[in-house]
């Protein structure tokens, strides 16, 4: 009797859900206090019920067609969710290693999505049209091109020099495609979109981790008592949720139970002297590394322009600069981490932030020296296509940096684990070096942004590299590293990563792209801007053509009064600064109000 009664109740439930609209039905199923498996079963029964009803009604046959498609769409979305490489990985990392290590993988995922977007834009608006006008490649492929980026790849869509300056049209008197405008507008619009994405991402993370951080002090009890999700029935999911909750509570408690160490005057002077000495050593190392890269790059160009006796020697010489630069970028950060350990910071956060600042200065100094070399020495050289030379240099730097990143995981984590568990047990397992690994990502993304103008498909290469790095770092973390010895809360870390990516990385890249587009003369024999005084001159010529058409007067007005007007950008900048100031005042007022309310609660 109870079974029949339950069966009738389930039939009534399915019938009532079937009579609802699609949105109402989804919300009703989500609110049910049942496991995910039971919810899926109910959803499938409802869809079957709707299909049966639609078969009996000829006038509503379209619904009968729509329901199987809806079911197929739901299944497909679940499959895509399962195929994502970070679907469960981020939860496991957060539970095992805490939010500090998790922030690195979240940042890596964010960069991967950004490069996918960049690749799709460049491939769709620049590369595909070039295929229609491309000439056959007569160069032979030897395999060394995968390392050097030269040879066969020189006559492909990988580099700037291969793209035509003609207007592409497959039909006479039909629609045409201006490759000059497509190239410069695609790159320009991409950087504008990237600027907005970075700006909004910083604002979102800042709002979540700084403005709303005051709520964290009142959620410790609720996190302990009211956070558990009783829909979880799978044993692995239960254990993962337990670990995740335990790690979050530990991190929150470290914020509450901060140790305030009182040092004597002698100890303080000793610590200050140690910090000053460490910074002097760091600055000397950074200056020496940048100077070495500068002289090596000049010497490398002279040897390249002279030529070599055989092709193998020429190919090997191309790899000298990227190998040396990657060696410096890989080994010196280990030295900086060791310096940080000698300084004995009070919290792991201080150690990580100081290491990140030092690595940022080092890497941006090296990138700055390379940009000066490309824009002032390579661009003024006697090369037939200096843009392709720059693109090849950046390709090699990206590829060799990727290889050294994988080697860093092997030597810095795998061998360190072997030594710490067999040879010198007192060392123990290594910890994941967040500062060094994050700066590797920012450095790689900076090279990709610089190289977009000279190698439009470079984001696709970086996309594959980041995907491989994600899996390699995940496996190395799980097998070789231990959780941080000092658990600490890192709510602001992702915000700091995005800020470092924006400034100095992105803003520095914008200045490099600006100098290239507005100041430098393109090569006479290659690329879409051959024969022009500058890349931006193609836009001026297009505007002059539009001035003769009455329909396009509004475009000409926008160009002269907005895009080319310094006053317009000055007004926009002023408005943005005023809005930022107002929001900052609102944040300060909210903090004051929160402090007053907390005092009232204590009273």
pLDDT digits (tens, 9 = 90+) for 431-478: 888 878 888 899 999 999 999 999 999 999 999 999 999 999 998 988
Which residues does 450 contact at the CB level (< 8 Å), separation at least 6?
367, 371, 394, 509, 512, 513
Given a cut of 80, is residue 301 above it in pLDDT? no
Helix crossing, 320-343 with 348-372: angle to 10°?
A: 150
CB atoms within 10 A of CB 135: 8
Look at 182-191, 247-256, 484-493 and tell me which has the smallest mean pLDDT: 484-493
Given a cut of 80, is residue 188 above it in pLDDT? yes
Q: What is the mean pLDDT of the chain?
A: 81
pLDDT digits (tens, 9 = 90+) for 225-276: 776 777 676 777 777 777 777 777 776 666 566 555 667 777 778 888 888 9
From CA 239, how far away is CA 300, in angstroms rounded?
Answer: 56
From CA 152, how far away is CA 559, in angstroms rounded?
Answer: 40
Half-sphere exposure of 214 (CA within 13 A, CB side): 13
> What is the SS3 string spanning 48-85?
HHHHHHHHHCHHHHHHHHHHHHHHHHHHHHHHHHHHCC
From CA 438, how far away is CA 441, in angstroms rounded?
Answer: 5
**pLDDT confidence of residue 356:** 83
**pLDDT confidence of residue 87:** 65
CB atoms within 10 A of CB 37: 11
Cα 509 from chain centroid (whole Å): 15
**pLDDT confidence of residue 62:** 44
Given a cut of 50, is residue 3 above it in pLDDT? no
pLDDT digits (tens, 9 = 90+) for 124-145: 999 998 888 877 787 788 888 8
**pLDDT confidence of residue 461:** 95
pLDDT digits (tens, 9 = 90+) for 52-69: 766 655 544 444 444 555
From CA 309, how far away is CA 291, in angstroms rounded?
Answer: 29
Q: What angle do CA 405, 438, 423 make, to 5 degrees?
A: 55
Mean pLDDT of 362-376: 93
**pLDDT confidence of residue 487:** 55
Closest of 243, 247, 241 to residue 228, by C-alpha:
241
From CA 378, how far away is CA 383, in angstroms rounded?
Answer: 8
Look at 19-33, 158-172, 213-227, 567-581 and tell me which has the smallest mean pLDDT: 213-227
Mean pLDDT of 310-324: 80
Helix crossing, 458-480 with 89-122: angle to 10°?
A: 170
pLDDT digits (tens, 9 = 90+) for 507-550: 999 999 999 999 999 998 888 999 899 999 999 888 888 888 88
Half-sphere exposure of 174 (CA within 13 A, CB side): 5
From CA 369, how far away is CA 477, in angstroms rounded?
Answer: 33
From CA 587, how far away is CA 484, in angstroms rounded?
Answer: 32
Look at 72-86, 88-102, 230-244, 549-563 and tell me which has the smallest mean pLDDT: 72-86
Annotated domain spans of the chain: 1-33, 89-532
């Amino acid at each position: 009797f109870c079974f029949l009664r339950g069966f009738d109740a389930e039939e009534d439930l399915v019938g009532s859900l079937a009579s609802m609209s699609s949105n109402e039905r989804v919300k009703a199923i989500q609110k049910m206090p049942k496991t995910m498996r039971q919810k899926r079963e109910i959803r499938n029964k409802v869809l079957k019920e709707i299909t049966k009803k639609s078969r009996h009604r000829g006038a509503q046959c379209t619904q009968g067609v729509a329901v199987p498609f809806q079911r197929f769409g739901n299944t497909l979305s679940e499959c895509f969710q399962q195929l994502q490489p970070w679907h469960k990985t981020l939860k496991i990392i957060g539970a095992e290693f805490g939010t500090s290590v998790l922030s690195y993988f979240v940042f890596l995922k964010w960069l991967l999505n950004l490069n996918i977007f960049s690749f799709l834009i460049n491939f769709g608006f620049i590369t595909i049209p070039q295929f229609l006008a491309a000439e056959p490649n007569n160069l032979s492929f030897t395999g060394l091109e995968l390392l050097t980026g030269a040879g066969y790849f020189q006559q492909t869509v990988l580099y700037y020099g291969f793209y035509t300056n003609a207007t592409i049209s497959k039909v006479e008197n039909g629609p045409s495609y201006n490759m000059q405008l497509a190239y410069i507008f695609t790159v320009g619009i991409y950087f504008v979109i990237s600027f907005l994405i970075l700006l909004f991402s910083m604002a979102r993370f800042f709002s979540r981790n700084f403005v709303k951080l005051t709520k964290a002090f009142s959620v410790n009890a609720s996190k302990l008592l009211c956070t558990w999700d009783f829909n979880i029935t799978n044993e692995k999911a239960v254990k993962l949720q337990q670990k995740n909750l335990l790690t979050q509570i530990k991190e929150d408690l470290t914020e509450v139970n901060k140790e305030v160490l009182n040092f004597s005057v002698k100890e303080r002077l000793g610590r200050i002297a140690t910090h000053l000495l460490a910074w002097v050593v760091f600055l000397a190392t950074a200056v020496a590394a940048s100077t070495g890269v500068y002289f090596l790059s000049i010497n490398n160009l002279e040897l390249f322009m002279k030529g070599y006796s055989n092709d193998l020697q020429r190919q090997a010489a191309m790899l000298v600069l990227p190998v040396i630069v990657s060696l410096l970028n890989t080994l010196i950060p280990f030295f900086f981490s060791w310096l940080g350990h000698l300084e004995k910071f009070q919290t792991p956060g201080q150690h990580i932030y100081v290491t990140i600042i030092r690595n940022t200065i080092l890497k941006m100094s090296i990138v700055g020296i390379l940009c000066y070399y490309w824009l002032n020495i390579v661009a003024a050289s006697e090369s037939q296509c200096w843009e392709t030379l720059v693109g090849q240099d950046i390709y090699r730097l990206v590829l060799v940096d990727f290889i050294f990143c994988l080697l860093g995981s092997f030597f810095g984590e795998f061998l360190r684990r072997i030594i710490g568990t067999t040879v010198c047990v007192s060392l123990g397992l290594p910890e994941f070096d967040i500062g060094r690994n994050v700066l590797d990502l920012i450095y790689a993304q900076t090279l990709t942004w610089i190289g977009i103008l000279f190698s439009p498909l470079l984001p696709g290469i970086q996309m594959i590299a980041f995907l491989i790095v994600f899996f390699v770092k995940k496996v190395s973390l799980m097998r070789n590293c231990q959780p941080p010895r000092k658990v600490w809360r890192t709510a602001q870390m992702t915000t700091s990563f995005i800020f470092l990516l924006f400034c100095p990385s992105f803003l520095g890249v914008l200045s490099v792209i600006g100098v290239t587009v507005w100041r430098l003369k393109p090569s006479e024999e290659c690329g879409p801007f051959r024969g022009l005084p500058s890349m931006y001159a193609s836009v001026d010529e297009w505007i002059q053509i539009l001035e003769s058409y009455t329909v396009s007067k509004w475009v000409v007005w926008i160009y002269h009064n907005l895009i080319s007007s310094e006053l317009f950008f000055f007004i926009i900048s002023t408005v943005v600064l005023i809005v930022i100031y107002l929001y900052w005042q609102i944040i300060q007022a909210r903090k004051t109000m929160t402090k007053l309310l907390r005092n009232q609660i204590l009273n």
